Amino acid sequence: MIIRENYLKKIVDAKDTEFIKVITGIRGSGKSTLLLMFRDYLKDHNVQDDQIIYMNFESAMYDDIKNYKDLYQYVKEKIKDQRIYLLLDEVQNVEAWEKAINSFKVDFDIDIYITGSNAYLLSSELSTLLSGRYIEIKMYPLSFKEFLLFNHYDHDDLENKFYEYLKYGGLPAITLIKDNDELVLSYLNDIYNSIVKKDIINRNNIKDPALLENIIKYLANNIGSPVSSNKISDYLNSNKIVEKSNHQTIDNYLNMLEKSFIMYKADRTDIKSKSLLKTLGKYYISDTGIRNIILGFRNIDEGHLLENVVYLELLRRGYRVNIGKSGEYEVDFVAESPNVIKYYQVTQSLTNDAIKERELRSLESIQDNYEKIILTMDKTINQDYNGIKVFRIIDWLLQDEK
């Protein structure tokens, strides 16, 4: 079991603080494994077995725990007069679970860690009951650097290994079965169907699953393109994919897709005024392997997948990421952290002069001194155009940055 050090460190750094640690992320991203790694860490650091309560609510072992009262009673009976570490995996399966969490904090000497596969975990009553008293640790599929580590790959022939990463994505379990295409396809299908059925359709009591599936396909096919509910509705109606689509229903479904972590939305921001623009955000998918399962592996669109990979990597590095508008030009990504702003353009190649001029022009239009970067697949030495840095995407993905 390879340890994902960056995520484990975040949990360890928050250990024994008053905050509840909430680990969120798409199904299959490794949340359960991370919780088990942390349990092992506790044992390795002199925490006794009877101080650790670990429960995975996707196991039949806990089928009798239906609601917060059952959960409270079960945990209470296991607690002795000592510090307790409570690890709850996929806790959203317990009705009103947040009431039990709040009671544990009040009644016991306890350090709590929970995971969940949808953002309703934090939009529920938990946010009200525990306002300001929890830390969210966002977990993503493997970065390219982690993908190499998990596969025990060296740094030879990186381009072919990167294309494998684009094709199959970064769900950790893929690295165990990657030599068997049939198993990989089956696993990705299972993960996708679980997300759609458990985290979206069942949770939200969806009445029109066919419409939901068509919206997912539309978004997967339009990664990195401006999207609105009107655009989706016009497409579905004009192509007679549905009889008639309702804008509000589409907006609701888009919100559900974000909350399941299968899709991320990047809003547009005016770089000069620093104001968010309400229209034409872009959607990116949480994993390229899932995107290829949705559309078919013959329809791999490398250009848009490159943009998707960069977007997710910026999220992993802790940035808030928006689409930039600079006058009449668009900037692919505006990446912000408390002390840093960076601007990114992503393109497959700069060998065409017209494309190079277009990408440079977008960044040159920004009237500030923050770092400006172009990422490309070109096998060239890293370059600099009047302060605008150009990196090969593969090299940039392997850089050490928080």
Domain ranges of the chain: 5-138, 144-397
Mean pLDDT of 97-125: 86
Neighbours of 8 (CB within 10 A): 15
Q: Which of 229-243, 253-267, 334-348 has the lowest mean pLDDT?
A: 229-243
Q: Residue 131 — pLDDT band, cuts 50, 70, 90?
A: low
Q: Say yes or no to pLDDT of 402 above 60.
A: no
| pLDDT, tens only, 6-60 | 999 999 999 999 999 999 999 999 999 999 999 999 999 999 999 999 999 989 9
Task: Give strand ranges (E) for 187-296.
Answer: 226-227, 263-270, 275-285
Sheet containing strand 20-24, edge to edge, reads: 52-56, 84-89, 110-116, 20-24, 134-138
Distance linking the first and last C-alpha atoms of the chain: 23
Q: What residues have CB less than 8 Å from 65, skipping those under 6 apart?
A: 55, 57, 71, 74, 94
Q: How many whole angstroms separate alpha carbon 90 and alpha carbon 58?
A: 7
Which pLDDT band holds residue 299 (cuts at 50, 70, 90)?
A: low
Collapsing DSSP to helix, strand or coil, 207 comes out as coil
Contact (CB, 8 A) for 86 and 112: yes
Stretch 213-223: mean pLDDT: 94
Separation of alpha carbons 349 and 375, rounded Å: 9
Quick check: 394 and 158 in contact, CB under 8 A? yes
Q: Sign of torsion, CA 196 200 205 209?
A: negative
Percent of the chain scored above 70 by pLDDT?
Answer: 95
Residue 95 is classified by DSSP as: B
CB distance 345 to 373 below 8 Å = yes
Cα 230 → chain centroid: 25
pLDDT surpasses 80 at 115: yes
Give the torsion sign (CA, 82, 133, 75, 29): negative
More confident residue, 198 or 307: 307
Helices assigned H by DSSP within 110-199:
120-123, 126-129, 144-150, 158-168, 174-177, 181-194
Contacts of 14 (CB under 8 A, 6+ apart): 21, 135, 137
Fold of 5-138: Rossmann fold (3.40.50)
Q: Which one, of 343, 333, 279, 336, lies nearest residue 306 by Cα?
A: 333
* Contacts (Cβ under 8 Å, ≥6 apart) of 386: 364
